[in-house]
Amino acid sequence: MAINVPDIQRPDKKLVEGLAAVGSATAAGDLSKLGIRDAHLRGLTSWTPGKAIAGPAVTLQFMPKREDQYHQDEYSDPEEQLHRHALYVSQAGDIVVVDARGHMGSGVFGDMMLTYFSGKGGAGIVIDGCIRDWPKAQKLDNLGFWLKGVTPNFHTQTDIFPYAVNVPIACCDTLVMPGDIIIADDDGATVVPISLAEQLLERASHHAEWEDFSRERLMQGGDLRRYYPLHDDARDEYEQWKKEKGL
């Protein structure tokens, strides 16, 4: 049986690159000022310390097993394995985001599928749950992993099964829409609604710029009350700093 899944709308690469430089913490803080109270995908840990990425979300939804919906013979025909199809539609730079219900006994992807995704140029894997084959997966240097853990079990071995690709999901109890931009680094993973991405980049870039100035002054012994947040009395000094830096 042929399985057709929708693709996502991918944003301009310059927008994605700019957001990667912003970082998850600045993004989460500035999104709160844009009306998104909590964009953090809570409970995920970076399993690839030092990796900082951004990319559009290809979403995968798992559901609890129910006998009339889950077919035990999926391994007799690999194309029945819906989680494969999330990888089939992925492109270079994409991040696969999975609502695995926080389940700790289901390895959503294993070594071979992750190798395939890595070979396609995928940027990262974000799972409210686990993967398997970590000793091999961690050697895929171009991939970043934000997970709740690892398990030796395969994806449908216990209680859940893949149900839909590129639908709205609740990853870590946070809504992720297909094509939203994920920013992920050592602080965690933040979901950026695509409708706010350009506005966030503009705001966060300004934020990062004055923080660079303030950080420099604080390292020189400057007064926290003057430089963080940037006080109006320091604006002229900041503008002069920008001119000196050619900004």
Which domain range does residue 71 map to?
13-194
5 belongs to a structural domain: no
The pLDDT of residue 53: 97
Q: Same structural domain for residues 82 and 61? A: yes
Q: Same structural domain for residues 120 and 234? A: no
Alpha carbon dihedral 144, 149, 153, 156, in 10-degree steps, equals -80
120 CB-contact burial (10 Å; exposed 0-12 / middle 13-18 / buried 19+): middle
For 142, the token pair is 């171009």
Quote the number of domains for the chain. 2
pLDDT bucket at 223, cuts 50 / 70 / 90? very high
Q: Same structural domain for residues 99 and 121? A: yes
Show which of 153, 172, 194 is a domain's final residue. 194
Q: Same structural domain for residues 27 and 126? A: yes
Q: Same structural domain for residues 207 and 135? A: no
155 belongs to a structural domain: yes
6 belongs to a structural domain: no
Q: Same structural domain for residues 169 and 205? A: no
Within 89-125, residue ranges assigned H as helices are: 111-119
Question: How many Cα atoms are found within 13 Å in the side-chain-facing hemisphere of 98?
Answer: 34
Q: Same structural domain for residues 180 and 204? A: no
Residue pair 5/89 in contact (Cβ under 8 Å)? The answer is yes
Question: In CATH, what number is assigned to the domain containing residue 164?
Answer: 3.50.30.40
Question: What stretch of H or E contains 208?
Answer: helix 197-219
Alpha-carbon distance values, 172 to 31, 42, 115, 133, 214 (Å): 18, 6, 25, 22, 34
User: Is the pTM above the cut of 0.75?
Assistant: yes
Q: Same structural domain for residues 189 and 203? A: no
Instruction: List the single range of 36-45, 88-97, 200-209, 225-234 with lowest mean pLDDT.
Output: 200-209
pLDDT, tens digit, for every residue of 147-205?
999 999 999 999 999 999 999 999 999 999 999 999 999 999 999 999 999 999 999 88
Q: Same structural domain for residues 66 and 28? A: yes
pLDDT bucket at 246, cuts 50 / 70 / 90? confident
The pLDDT of residue 56: 98
- Look at the block and give the residue holding tokens 């947040």: 229
Helix crossing, 24-33 with 197-219: angle to 10°? 120
Largest CA distance in the chain: 70
Strand partners, 184: 53, 189
- Look at the block and give the residue holding tokens 């995968």: 60
pLDDT, tens digit, for every residue of 79-124?
888 999 999 999 999 999 999 999 999 999 999 999 999 999 999 9
Q: Same structural domain for residues 76 and 121? A: yes
pLDDT bucket at 72, cuts 50 / 70 / 90? low
Q: Same structural domain for residues 189 and 211? A: no
Q: Same structural domain for residues 116 and 225? A: no
211 belongs to a structural domain: yes
Question: Would you tell me how many other CB atoms lie within 10 Å of the CB of residue 209?
Answer: 15
Q: Please confirm whether the linkage preceding 229 is cis (ω < 30° from 0).
A: yes
Strand partners, 164: 61
